[in-house]
Amino acid sequence: MKGKSEIRDLARQRIRWLFKLAYDETRKGNYGRARRYAELIIRVAEKGKTRVPRSIKRSICKNCRVILIPGLTARVRIRSEGSKGSHVTVTCTLCGWMKRYYIKAGIYEKKGEGVNKGSKA
């Protein structure tokens, strides 16, 4: 029998792999397929009793489940608020859904998981 942590590890691996597939399909314009992968990611997380990593969660449109890629399926606006961090608005260009969140200053250096390179706003 597999241990709980092992199942969780497997779930996390699958999530990362599915996200890569979803991302690739989105880039090819196969939004239907990308959405199916995104739904799988959520289901795998539930079954594996783990959470979808924040960086991945933020890249999935909550409304239509497409992968949000800046310049392709998403419009990203960043407003810097000095030492407090930055305010980010992401708009899904497919369904118009919008979300807003804060990035604390220094988070990119700390985690090294910036979603997009440079500051394309």
> Can you give the binding site for Zn ion, defined by CB under 5 A?
61, 63-64, 92, 94-95, 97
* Concatenated DSSP letters of 55-120: HHHTTB-TTT--B--BTTTEEEEEEE-GGG-EEEEEEETTT--EEEEEE-TTHHHHH---SSSTT-
The distance of closest approach from Cβ of residue 99 to Zn ion in the complex, given in angstroms and rounded to an integer, is 10
The distance of closest approach from Cβ of residue 34 to Zn ion in the complex, given in angstroms and rounded to an integer, is 11
Closer residue to Zn ion, CB minimum distance, 12 or 36: 36
The distance of closest approach from Cβ of residue 21 to Zn ion in the complex, given in angstroms and rounded to an integer, is 18
